[in-house]
Amino acid sequence: MANFTASLMSSGETIVIERRQHWLVLVDHAKLAILGLVAALLIFIFRGNLGTDGIGGGLNFVLGWVVLALVVYAVVVFVYQYLRWINDAFIVTNRRVIQISGILNKKALDSSLEKINDAVLTQNVFGRVFGFGDLEILTASESGIERMHMLFDAAGFKRAISDSKHELELEVSSGRIPSPPLRAASGPGGDPWASQPAVAAPVTAPTQASAPAAPSPDDVATAIDRLKGLLDSGAITQAEFDAKKAELLARL
């Protein structure tokens, strides 16, 4: 898992926070394994009341194999669900938000911080007690991470996204990086910058950094549509919708 995550990092990219879904998600996915263990225990107790001769002995023998099958099934299902849970991760770096899934066949989905407009946190009473919540990511593109279900420490993850985005904007505005950070490229030899043309280092006094390119009208319209959906579902208020809409329109 660590090696795969490291292979996704661009030059100068560092991990800010890494979280997984709450352990209750594992319990939910492994509920059949838990039921199998409970059934095996009850059958095992019932076998103690049967004799070893005649019909009782035959039934005792059959139930012994049933108990063994249930235990093996429960162990296999639980191990599989645990591996799924432990290999699904959500990561915030100083450049983007990454979702990793898969046990053997890995899948990585990411959203660049400069394209994230907001992260909406939904947390019910049960989630506040056990420390999890749902995060919906609003981006200026149609692809990328959209929803994180039952994320552990969702409030801290949302805060990390906001802080990392703010730091990125400061870097761009101060000229410490020439443009919004690039995703990991597939250049020869795994070098994320191998496909980029070489740029000579400046020898004159630094000039004022150009402002980041404004989003296209289509990107803004897509973001407003998503905001409208959140408003209709009651996830945000009318005032929050109006404020965010005005902010998006001001970027055109």
* The three-state (H, E, C) secondary structure of the chain, written as one string: CHHHHHHHCCCCCCEEEEECECHHHHHHHCHHHHHHHHHHHHHHHHHCCCCCCHHHHHHHHHHHHHHHHHHHHHHHHHHHHHHHHHHCEEEEECCEEEEEECCCCCEEEEEEHHHEEEEEEECCHHHHHHCEEEEEEEECCCCCCCEEEEEECHHHHHHHHHHHHHHHHHHHHHCCCCCCCCCCCCCHHHCCCCCCCCCCCCCCCCCCCCCCCCCCHHHHHHHHHHHHHHHHHCCCCHHHHHHHHHHHHHCC
Which residue bears the tokens 């947390």? Answer: 123
Cα–Cα dist 234/82, whole Å: 34
The model's pLDDT over 40-54, given as tens digits with 9 standing for 90+, comes to: 999 988 887 776 666
Q: What pLDDT, on a 0 to 100 scale, did the predictor assign at position 143?
A: 67
Q: Is the separation of the CB atoms in 184 and 10 below 8 Å?
A: yes
Contact 23, 88 (CB under 8 A): no
The answer to whether 223 touches 248, Cβ cutoff 8 Å, is: yes
Quick one: pLDDT at residue 178? 54
Task: State residue 220's pLDDT score.
Answer: 73
Count of alpha carbons within 13 angstroms of residue 75, beta-carbon side = 7
pLDDT computed for residue 192 by the predictor: 44
Q: How far apart are CA 59 and CA 52, in angstroms?
A: 9
Neighbours of 210 (CB within 10 A): 10
**Cβ proximity of 23 and 94 under 8 Å:** no
Q: Give the contacts of 216 (CB within 8 A, at least 6 positions apart).
A: none
Per-residue pLDDT at 196: 46
Read off the tokens for 132.
Answer: 């999890």
Confidence at residue 246, expressed as pLDDT on a 0 to 100 scale: 80
Extract the residue ranges of the chain whose pLDDT is less than 70. 1, 51-54, 56, 141-144, 175-215, 252
pLDDT of residue 177: 60
Write down the pLDDT at residue 212. 55
Best CA proximity match to 194, nearest among 8, 11, 37: 11
pLDDT of residue 164: 92
Share above pLDDT 70 across residues of the chain, in percent, rounded to a whole number: 79
Say what the pLDDT of residue 209 is.
46
